[in-house]
């Protein structure tokens, strides 16, 4: 087994650029942010930026990967089966991230929202598919993939619905809905 060593300077530079991008995203609309804005804030030159990222959308995608997607994967690394507790944990993570993103990036919530939604759904599909294949190794993979997509899109959709319509805390909201789903609908 080989391990890849990442130069700490690369890690620091990417973090510096990512932090600069996140700060600027609080102040300006995404379409008005320039690479120069990011490099000036990060105190690096443009060549350094382009050595790590293709454009501002690439750094936005990287930022998402380092936040919600990393948190989801870290949380689910300890999960070994698909059950009510797993769904609850994922729901709480998603709602927390939706809140944080909305509060941190109010100017860019629409632009971030589309990218966040797409990435979270993709990541959840992968996670759910892995869990479903482990639990049902003899089932048709395409059927499992469809089930994983159903779970991913449904869970993200209900998290968005909670965000836009509910006054309940996320935990109370999911605790109210999951028992019925798990015991009555999924019999």
| 177 and 90 inside one domain | yes
For residue 45, the model assigns a pLDDT of 94
- CA dist., res. 113 & res. 183, Å (int): 32
Strands (E), the chain: none
Let me know whether 14 and 34 are in one domain: yes
Both 79 and 103 in a single domain? yes
Residue 21: give the domain boundaries.
Answer: 1-53
Digitized pLDDT (tens) for each residue of the chain, 187 residues in all = 556 677 888 889 999 999 999 889 888 888 899 999 999 999 999 999 999 999 998 998 888 777 766 666 666 665 667 788 888 888 888 888 878 777 666 656 666 677 778 888 888 898 889 889 988 999 999 999 999 999 999 999 999 999 999 999 999 999 888 877 766 544 4
Tokens of 129: 């598919």
Radius of gyration of the chain (CA): 19
Structural domain ending residue among the three candidates 53, 70, 91: 53
Regarding pTM above 0.95, the answer is no
Measured in residues, the chain has a length of 187
How many structural domains compose the chain?
2
Give the list of residues 6+ apart from residue 76 with CB closer than 8 angstroms, or none. 86, 89, 90, 127
Alpha-carbon distances, residue 108 vs 86, 91, 111, 143, 184 (angstroms) = 30, 23, 5, 36, 40
């Amino acid at each position: 087994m080989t391990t890849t060593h990442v130069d700490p300077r690369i890690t620091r530079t990417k973090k510096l650029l990512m932090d600069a991008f996140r700060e600027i995203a609080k102040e300006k609309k995404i379409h008005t942010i320039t690479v120069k804005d990011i490099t000036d804030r990060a105190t690096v030159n443009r060549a350094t930026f382009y050595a790590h990222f293709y454009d501002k959308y690439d750094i936005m995608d990287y930022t998402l990967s380092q936040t919600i997607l990393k948190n989801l994967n870290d949380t689910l690394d300890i999960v070994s089966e698909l059950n009510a507790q797993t769904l609850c944990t994922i729901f709480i993570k998603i709602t927390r991230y939706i809140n944080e993103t909305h509060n941190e990036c109010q100017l860019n919530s629409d632009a971030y929202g589309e990218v966040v939604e797409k990435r979270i759904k993709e990541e959840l599909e992968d996670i759910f598919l892995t869990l479903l294949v482990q639990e049902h190794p003899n089932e048709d993979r395409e059927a499992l993939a469809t089930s994983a997509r159903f779970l991913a899109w449904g869970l993200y959709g209900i998290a968005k619905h909670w965000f836009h319509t509910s006054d309940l805390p996320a935990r109370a909201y999911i605790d109210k809905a999951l028992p019925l789903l798990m015991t009555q609908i999924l019999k």
